[in-house]
């Protein structure tokens, strides 16, 4: 596989894994958050609704109490009694002693004239005939006004009750201190940004809100039409989003508005959101890291195994090549051997005949004799080649002996010492001290080492060094023999072919080109591997790996 293919695979694994793990994570996170938000919002709305309901009930009760107080007074006392200012003052003082909400009280006759008045202002004798509330109370019997400034220049509202007493009818009218009412509404102002106020049908504020405006100011009202029950909703008003809870009062066409700042009320929700984002972020980080790690490991493993497979393939190709070439070589050798045998016999016969005395007297005898011996010599040479070829093709099972590789290498070096010395080449051995013995074929192995050393000496020519090192890899249970020369090195294009039969860089007649291929075959049969690395100008290193076999397999 190409490098880019590995990268592609790497990214493919990463994207797939991330998709399959992040999508559920996000989905889960979003669902949980959504559910939490829904239930939390519901809870907040519910509590807001309860608050509104309580407030409304309290206000309603307040109105009802005031109205029924006035009713009681109007219907238990006669006009004549109440007309007496002293008596009314007595009653009013009694009423105020229980509740400070009444500011003043007065009796108005059917013509609209304030007959009697008890309170801080001088309102006796004022005529209300043209006031709209006067007609309202005459019509309906009871009336609660909006807040107004009136004659007093002070925000207040009135409650008026009509009493029909025989053919007379009169009105008991009282002023309610808005402060007490205000305080009741303001009690619903919760939080730092919460607000509570009362507006009338026209959107005029009946109590002073905290933020939205001032008393008797106009305000944008969430609802203008009357409805029953309580509305809780999130609305955008005056440029900010807030939770609004609205309800109409029972006794008066006023609407109670309680506003809550969602950002404050929903703080736990936002906290939950941040926590969730944090957890998901952490999860994403862990997943991404894990994915990258696993993908990298997987691709690394794949590259490793591909590389091993490629090496195995290469060695299988080499083995296959060897086998095919071996067969070919054997076939050729056999075909060549037969004519060689005939030539050898003919030459032999000629030599037999030349040895007869009478021929030896002939003048060209020496020439004949020379020629015939040369032919015999070269048949021998050809025979060596064919026999080596056959030896290469031979599928002989190696003998298994206990082999001390150090000793074997040492003996082989001894064997070549003279030749090396003569060419001023130093062979520098370095033996691993605790090299285990292995079951192997010592003579074949020696041939391999000899071949490689011979090649090294030939490659150097004169003046050089060959390092021979034995080592033991405990992990792989392998003996490693490294033979490095500082010769001219092998160019890359030849490096692939050096184990091929008949491949030689030596002069014609100097090498058969079989040494390394035989070595390769031998090491292969012994269960090992032989590798070569070379750099032109620096030298060549052959590495032989031999398995450590401690016992003959049964």
381 binds other proteins (CB under 8 A): no
Residue number with CB closer to other proteins (162 or 329): 329
Site for other proteins in 382-401 (CB under 8 A): 383, 387, 390-391, 393-396
Which one, 23 or 396, has the nearer CB to other proteins?
396
- Which residue, 480, 389, 380, is CA-closest to 430? 480
Smallest gap from residue 399 Cβ to other proteins (A): 13
Applying CB under 8 A, among 346, 421, 497, 550 the residue interacting with other proteins is 346
Find the shortest distance in angstroms from Cβ 346 to other proteins.
Answer: 6
The size of the chain, in residues, is 554
Q: Which is nearer to other proteins, 333 or 457 (CB)?
A: 333
> Which listed range, 79-87, 217-225, 257-265, 341-349, lies at the site for other proteins (CB under 8 A)?
341-349
Q: Return the DSSP state at 111.
A: T
By CB under 8 A, is residue 344 in contact with other proteins? yes
Region binding other proteins by CB under 8 A among candidate stretches 121-129, 162-170, 336-344, 513-521: 336-344
Residues 6 or more apart whose Cβ sits within 8 Å of residue 257: 195, 196, 197, 198, 199, 221, 222, 244, 245, 246
Q: Is 24 helix (H, G, I), strand (E, B) or coil?
A: helix
The whole-angstrom separation of Cα 194 and Cα 209 is 10
Longest dimension (CA), the chain: 194
- 348 belongs to the binding site for other proteins (CB under 8 A): yes
Burial class (CB in 10 A: 0-12, 13-18, 19+), 171: buried
- Cα 94 off chain centre by: 78
Chain centroid to CA 201: 58
- The region, left, alpha or beta by phi > 0 then psi within -120 to 50, assigned to residue 424 is left
Residues contacting other proteins: total by CB under 8 A: 25
Least distance to other proteins, CB of residue 371, Å? 17
H or E element in which residue 258 lies = strand 254-260
- CA angle, residues 249, 255, 256, in degrees to nearest 5: 90
Nearer Cβ to other proteins, position 9 or 375? 375
State yes or no: residue 342 binds other proteins (CB under 8 A). Answer: yes
CB of 393 to other proteins, least distance (A): 8
- The tokens describing 107, both together, are 């009796």
Shorter beta-carbon distance to other proteins: residue 29 or 326: 326
Contact status: 349 vs other proteins (CB under 8 A): yes
Q: Which residue has the tokens 């100011």?
A: 217
C-beta of residue 68 within 8 angstroms of C-beta of residue 312: no
Q: How far is the CB of 326 from other proteins (least distance, A)?
A: 11
Establish if 379 lies at the interface with other proteins (CB under 8 A): yes
Does 352 engage in binding with other proteins (CB under 8 A)?
yes
Q: Which of 345, 370, 414, 476 binds other proteins (CB under 8 A)?
A: 345
Query: For residue 68, how many other CB atoms are within 10 A of its CB?
Result: 11
List the one residue from 74, 107, 340, 526 that touches other proteins (CB under 8 A).
Answer: 340
Best CA proximity match to 446, nearest among 493, 475, 481, 471: 481
Which of 158, 190, 232, 330 binds other proteins (CB under 8 A)? It is 330
Cβ of residue 502: shortest distance to other proteins, in angstroms? 19
The answer to the question of residue 475 lying near other proteins (CB under 8 A) is no
Q: Locate the DSSP E strands across 100-179.
A: 102-108, 114-118, 142-144, 156-165, 168-177
Residue number, 347 or 466, with CB nearest to other proteins: 347
Buried b (16+ CB within 10 A) or exposed e, 324-352: ebbeebbeebeeebeebeebbeebeebee
Q: Looking only at residues 281 through 310 of this chain, which bind other proteins when binding is defined by CB under 8 A?
A: none
Q: Which stretch binds other proteins (CB under 8 A): 84-92, 175-183, 334-342, 514-522?
A: 334-342
Candidates 30, 183, 341, 371; binder of other proteins (CB under 8 A) is 341
The radius of gyration of the chain's CA atoms, rounded to the nearest angstrom, is: 59
- Chain centre distance of CA 282: 9
Q: Rule CB under 8 A: is residue 337 a binding residue for other proteins?
A: yes
Residue 343 contacts other proteins per CB under 8 A: yes
Closer residue to other proteins in complex, CB, 64/335: 335
CA distance 221 to 203: 6
Alpha helices in 243-364, H assignment, sequence order: 262-265, 267-354, 357-360
Nearer to other proteins, 366 or 387 (CB): 387
Q: Which is nearer to other proteins, 336 or 450 (CB)?
A: 336
CB of 475 to other proteins, least distance (A): 37
Give whichever of 94 and 342 is closer to other proteins, judged by the CB atom.
342
Least distance in Å: CB of 341 to other proteins?
Answer: 4
Name residues whose C-beta falls within 8 Å of residue 272's C-beta, 6 or more positions apart in sequence.
33, 36, 40
Nearer to other proteins, 275 or 342 (CB): 342
338 touches other proteins by CB under 8 A: yes
The residue with tokens 């006035």 is: 70
Query: Taking the CA of residue 203 as centre, how many other CA atoms within 13 Å lie in the half-sphere pointing to its CB?
Result: 10
Q: Does 360 bind other proteins (CB under 8 A)?
A: no
Interface residue list for other proteins (CB under 8 A): 330, 333-335, 337-338, 340-346, 348-349, 352, 379, 383, 387, 390-391, 393-396
């Amino acid at each position: 596989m190409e490098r880019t293919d590995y990268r592609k695979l790497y990214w493919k694994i990463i994207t797939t894994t991330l998709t399959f793990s992040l999508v559920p994570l996000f989905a889960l996170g979003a669902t949980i958050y959504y559910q939490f938000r829904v239930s939390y919002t519901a809870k907040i709305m519910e509590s807001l609704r309860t608050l509104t309901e309580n407030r409304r009930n309290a206000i309603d009760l307040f109105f009802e109490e005031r109205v029924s107080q006035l009713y009681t007074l109007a219907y238990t006392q006669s006009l004549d009694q109440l007309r007496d200012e002293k008596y009314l003052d007595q009653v009013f003082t009694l009423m105020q002693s229980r509740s400070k909400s009444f500011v003043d009280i007065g009796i108005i006759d059917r013509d609209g004239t304030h007959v009697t008045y008890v309170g801080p202002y001088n309102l006796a004798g004022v005529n209300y005939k043209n006031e709209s509330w006067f007609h309202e109370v005459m019509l309906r019997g009871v009336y609660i006004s909006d807040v107004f400034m009136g004659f007093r220049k002070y925000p207040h509202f009135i409650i008026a009750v009509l009493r029909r007493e025989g053919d007379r009818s009169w009105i008991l009218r009282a002023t309610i201190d808005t402060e007490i009412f205000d305080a009741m509404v303001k009690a619903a102002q919760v939080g730092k940004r919460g607000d509570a106020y009362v507006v009338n049908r026209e959107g005029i504020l009946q109590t002073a809100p905290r933020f939205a405006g001032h008393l008797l100011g106009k305000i944008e009202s969430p609802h203008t039409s009357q409805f029953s029950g309580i509305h809780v909703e999130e609305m955008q008003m005056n440029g900010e989003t807030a939770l609004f809870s609205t309800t109409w009062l029972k006794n008066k066409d006023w609407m109670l508005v309680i506003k809550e700042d969602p950002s404050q009320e929903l703080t736990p929700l936002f906290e939950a959101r941040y926590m969730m984002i944090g957890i998901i972020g952490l999860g994403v980080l862990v997943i991404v890291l894990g994915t990258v790690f696993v993908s990298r490991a997987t691709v690394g493993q794949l590259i490793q195994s591909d590389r091993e497979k490629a090496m195995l393939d290469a060695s299988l190709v080499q083995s296959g090549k060897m086998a095919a070439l071996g067969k070919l070589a054997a076939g050729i050798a056999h075909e060549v051997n037969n004519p060689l045998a005939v030539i050898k016999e003919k030459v032999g016969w000629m030599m037999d005949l030349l040895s007869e005395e009478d021929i030896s007297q002939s003048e060209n005898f020496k020439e004949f004799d020379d020629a015939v011996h040369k032919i015999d010599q070269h048949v021998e040479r050809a025979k060596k080649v064919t026999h080596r070829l056959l030896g290469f093709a031979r599928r002989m099972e190696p003998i298994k002996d206990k082999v001390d590789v150090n000793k074997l290498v040492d003996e082989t070096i001894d064997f070549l010492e003279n030749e090396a010395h003569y060419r001023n080449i130093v062979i520098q051995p370095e033996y691993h001290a605790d090299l285990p013995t292995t079951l192997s074929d010592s003579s074949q192995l020696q041939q391999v080492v000899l071949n490689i050393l011979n090649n090294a000496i030939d490659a150097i020519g004169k003046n050089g060094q060959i390092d021979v090192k034995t080592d033991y890899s405990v992990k792989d249970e392998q003996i490693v023999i490294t033979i490095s020369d500082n010769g001219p090195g092998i160019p890359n294009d030849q490096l692939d072919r050096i184990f091929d039969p008949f491949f030689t860089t030596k002069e014609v007649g100097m090498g058969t080109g079989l040494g390394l291929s035989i070595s390769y075959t031998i090491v292969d049969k012994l269960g090992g591997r032989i590798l070569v690395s070379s750099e032109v100008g620096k030298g060549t290193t052959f590495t032989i790996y031999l398995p450590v076999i401690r016992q003959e397999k049964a």
